Structure 1
Amino acid sequence: MAQIHPTAVVEPGAQLGENVSIDAYSIVRAQVRIDEGTRVGPHCVIEGRTTIGRDNRIFQFCSLGAAPQDKKYAGEPTELQIGDRNTIREFCTFNLGTVQDAGVTRLGNDNWIMAYVHLAHDCQVGDKTIFANNAQLAGHVHVGDWVILGGYTQVHQFAKIGAHAMTGMNTSLTQDVPPFALVTGNPAQSRGFNVEGLKRRGFSGERIAAVKQMHRILYRQGLTLDDARLAIQALAQTMPEAAEEVAMMVRFLAESSRGIVR
């Protein structure tokens, strides 16, 4: 059975799985569903059409599922979806989606979200990311798997951050960040690629060499973005062991709508 502190408020209609715990003075509204093993700290407010998966740890003073900070929002039945095994630290704010996008704000699995992080409406965050304190995502931002955002990183609406990318502290992003890139500054600039992160994740030397070559094509050869994409696509023939990484980069560059950080 769920463990609910006597001072917590869980409205009729809320669905709580086995071994869910709701700590003191937290509020869980009627349309919320929380799956097995998730722990909600004190003084949290979880509302709206919010679904939270298994074995999450939500620390005190979080606001999850509030209406989006969008003047166009008119109370439509949009959602917030949070996956499994996430750590969500103090004072985080995750908003519902809007009908101007997919209608869902989404956080995947196994993410480590530190204090004061904001996920605005319609953000899509993958798995195994790390967001340091005060990382702030505006609306419609997409973040791939294994991304690391340094403290106080600010991300412009509609920007995309590719898998395995990393930002330094106080980075301001107004353009897209390609997969594997290491960027920092205001405005952000490329500082190389996230080689240490790839080593820690078990990438082979051949795969890391392919990522390095893609970085050279993007940033060292003076090519237009379209020409760089074609040159990277050709690497699949000469570096077949990195076909997955090449395909990821080609797809990201083809879908980029804001241009990339250079």
Structure 2
Amino acid sequence: MANQIHPTAVVDPGAKLGDNVTIGPYAIIESDTEIGDGTRIDAFAQIKRYTSMGANNVIHSNALIGGEPQDMKFKDADTRVVMGDNNIIREFVTVHRGTPEGRGETRIGSGCMIMAYAHVAHDCVLHDHAILVNCVMLAGHVDIGSHAVVSGMTGVHQFTRIGDYAFIGGMSGVSLDVPPYIHATGVRGALRGLNLIGLRRAGIDRASIKALKQAYTTIFRSGMGRKEALAEAEEVLGDVPEVMKMIEFIRSSERGVHSDIGMRNGDKDS
């Protein structure tokens, strides 16, 4: 189908539009942009230069995609925002480009939802089907795993990782890594067990969930040192892929991992 572009929209001749693209009133599409087939861009939205997105995305009114990073060192550079397919970007969301010192791009996978007023800073990565609820604030270089949910009004510190299927409760402050499958919430993002609702919705079988519960207890609630606990969990449950994903995530953490709410004052991280 032919593209539908409102007469008040501003579309630079250097923009590359796919088929069946809809662009609403007063929207702005700058040069050096790529808009995939079937994408809808609503009134007053802005797609800044060096942005590319795949098919069937919906960009709601007043969202801004591809703004320059809020980094004092940044000088105009060909860094990018890259977005996959079937994403929903709600009102007043801001997504900023990468930096030369970082990944060089901010990347949003496919099937993500970013709700109103959320901010995705430079060099962040959102993997497929991640959800950011209203007013989530991601600092630079944050990595959000696939199917992870970050609830409203949560702030995430720069360089932090949140693993696949993790769930972050509302109004939290996340300053350390949160492993896959885990629920964390609070001012400093304490771990509170598994994200059981998310695991069940994802179709994770009962045996794997039981193994994850056992691994979580060993790693975060046994009182063992972290290295010892990880080795114990791997020896007993290492044949469960979800458990190994959790173990490998924790071992690869550079910032460190949040502690369990019940072990906060006595967790040993040796």
Distance of 1:220 and 1:250 partners within structure 2:
15
SS of match in other structure, 1:68: coil
Distance of 1:37 and 1:13 partners within structure 2:
19
Distance of 1:225 and 1:2 partners within structure 2:
56
Q: Please say if residues 154 and 171 of structure 2, whose CA atoms lie closer than 8 Å, have aligned partners that are also in contact.
A: yes
Corresponding residue number in structure 2 for 1:259: 256
Corresponding residue number in structure 2 for 1:249: 246
CA RMSD of aligned residues (A): 1.1
**Counterpart residue identity of residue 226, structure 2:** L
Corresponding residue number in structure 2 for 1:172: 173
Q: Please say if residues 48 and 67 of structure 1, whose CA atoms lie closer than 8 Å, have aligned partners that are also in contact.
A: no
Corresponding residue number in structure 1 for 2:264: none
SS of match in other structure, 1:76: coil
Distance of 1:92 and 1:157 partners within structure 2:
18
Corresponding residue number in structure 1 for 2:262: none
Q: Please say if residues 211 and 237 of structure 2, whose CA atoms lie closer than 8 Å, have aligned partners that are also in contact.
A: no
Corresponding residue number in structure 1 for 2:141: 140
Q: Following TM superposition, by how much is the alpha carbon of 1:131 offset from its aligned partner in structure 2, in angstroms?
A: 1.2
Q: Following TM superposition, by how much is the alpha carbon of 1:190 offset from its aligned partner in structure 2, in angstroms?
A: 1.2
Q: Please say if residues 177 and 255 of structure 2, whose CA atoms lie closer than 8 Å, have aligned partners that are also in contact.
A: yes
**Counterpart residue identity of residue 93, structure 1:** T
In the TM superposition, 1:23-34 aligns within 5 A as 23-34=24-35
Corresponding residue number in structure 2 for 1:203: 204
Distance of 2:121 and 2:236 partners within structure 1:
37
Gaps of 5+ in 1: none
Per mean C-alpha deviation after superposition, the further-off stretch among 110-119 and 219-228 is 219-228
Q: Following TM superposition, by how much is the alpha carbon of 1:236 offset from its aligned partner in structure 2, in angstroms?
A: 4.3
Q: Following TM superposition, by how much is the alpha carbon of 1:235 offset from its aligned partner in structure 2, in angstroms?
A: 3.6
Distance of 2:251 and 2:229 partners within structure 1:
11
Quick one: structure 1 residues 48 and 223, their matched pair in 2 at CA, closer, same or farther if it must change by over 3 Å? farther
Structure 1 residue 57 and structure 2 residue 54: aligned? Answer: no
Q: Please say if residues 48 and 96 of structure 1, whose CA atoms lie closer than 8 Å, have aligned partners that are also in contact.
A: no
Q: Please say if residues 94 and 118 of structure 1, whose CA atoms lie closer than 8 Å, have aligned partners that are also in contact.
A: yes
Give per-residue Cα distances to partners, 1:33-92, cap 9 Å, x unaligned.
000001001001111210111101110000100100001111111110111001110000
Corresponding residue number in structure 2 for 1:109: 110
**Counterpart residue identity of residue 126, structure 1:** H
Corresponding residue number in structure 2 for 1:43: 44
Per mean C-alpha deviation after superposition, the further-off stretch among 245-254 and 162-171 is 245-254
Normalising to structure 1: TM-score of the pair?
0.96
**Counterpart residue identity of residue 251, structure 2:** A
Q: Following TM superposition, by how much is the alpha carbon of 1:246 offset from its aligned partner in structure 2, in angstroms?
A: 2.4
Distance of 2:250 and 2:123 partners within structure 1:
21
Gaps of 5+ in 2: 260-270
SS of match in other structure, 1:33: strand
Give per-residue Cα distances to partners, 1:193-232, cap 9 Å, x unaligned.
1011111111111110111112112211112222222223
